[in-house]
């Protein structure tokens, strides 16, 4: 009896390990790759709000969004004009309006990330 019990535990243990490996190998990297550019863009936008050179950070955000794999249900396309508007506002010396545009862009990125999470759940 003890052998059956031990064998059952070993089988259960190995099935957990295999499941963990499968999720790590196939689930997490896909999500990381799909969302990383959005997170990079959000980081750059947040830095732009306090940076002495906000245009550099805003341009980083534009590049990150341009490298994103998908349009994320249209949110990426909506986000880019907000970033362009923020750049124009900073060049015009209107930091308050630029911060508002940056916040709008961040809101769209949050929606895009949420859309990406929903899409990944539907694929499983």
Residue 67: its pLDDT value, please?
Answer: 82
Domain with 48 in it: what CATH number?
A: 1.20.120.660
Mean pLDDT across 3-25: 54
Mean pLDDT across 44-72: 88
**How far apart (Å, rounded) are the C-alpha atoms in residues 47 and 99?**
11
Question: Residue 6: inside a domain, yes or no?
Answer: no
Q: Is 58 within 8 Å of 44 (Cβ atoms)?
A: yes
Question: Residue 112: inside a domain, yes or no?
Answer: yes
3-state secondary structure of 106: helix
Cα dist from 25 to 18, 56, 70, 119, whole Å: 10, 35, 21, 18
Question: Residue 3: inside a domain, yes or no?
Answer: no
Task: Measure CA 90 to chain center.
Answer: 25
> 24-43, pLDDT tens digit by residue?
444 444 456 557 888 999 99
Query: Which position has the higher pLDDT, 82 or 119?
Result: 82
Task: Answer yes or no: is pLDDT of 63 > 70.
Answer: yes
Give the residue numbers spanning the domain of 77.
33-123
Domain count, the chain: 1
Question: Residue 104: inside a domain, yes or no?
Answer: yes
Question: Residue 21: inside a domain, yes or no?
Answer: no
Question: Residue 107: inside a domain, yes or no?
Answer: yes
Task: Answer yes or no: is pLDDT of 3 > 80.
Answer: no
Question: Residue 90: inside a domain, yes or no?
Answer: yes
> 73-115, pLDDT tens digit by residue?
677 788 999 999 999 999 999 999 999 999 999 999 888 888 7
Of 68, 74, 76, 79, nearest in space to 101 by CA:
79
What residues have CB less than 8 Å from 23, skipping those under 6 apart?
none
What residues have CB less than 8 Å from 48, skipping those under 6 apart?
54, 55, 57, 58, 61, 86, 102
Q: Is 48 within 8 Å of 84 (Cβ atoms)?
A: no
Q: Please, which pLDDT band fits residue 118 given cuts at 50, 70 and 90?
A: low
């Amino acid at each position: 009896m003890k052998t059956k019990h031990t064998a059952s535990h070993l089988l259960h243990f190995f099935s957990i390990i295999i499941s963990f490996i499968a999720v790590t190998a196939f689930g997490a990297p896909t999500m990381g790759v799909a969302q990383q550019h959005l997170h990079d863009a959000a980081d750059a936008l947040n830095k732009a709000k306090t940076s002495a050179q906000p245009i550099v950070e805003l341009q980083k955000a534009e590049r990150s969004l341009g490298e994103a794999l998908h349009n994320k249900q249209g949110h990426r396309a909506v986000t880019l004009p907000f970033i362009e508007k923020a750049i124009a506002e900073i060049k015009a010396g209107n930091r308050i309006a630029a911060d508002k545009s940056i916040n709008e862009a961040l809101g769209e990125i949050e929606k895009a990330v949420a859309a990406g999470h929903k899409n990944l759940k539907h694929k499983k």
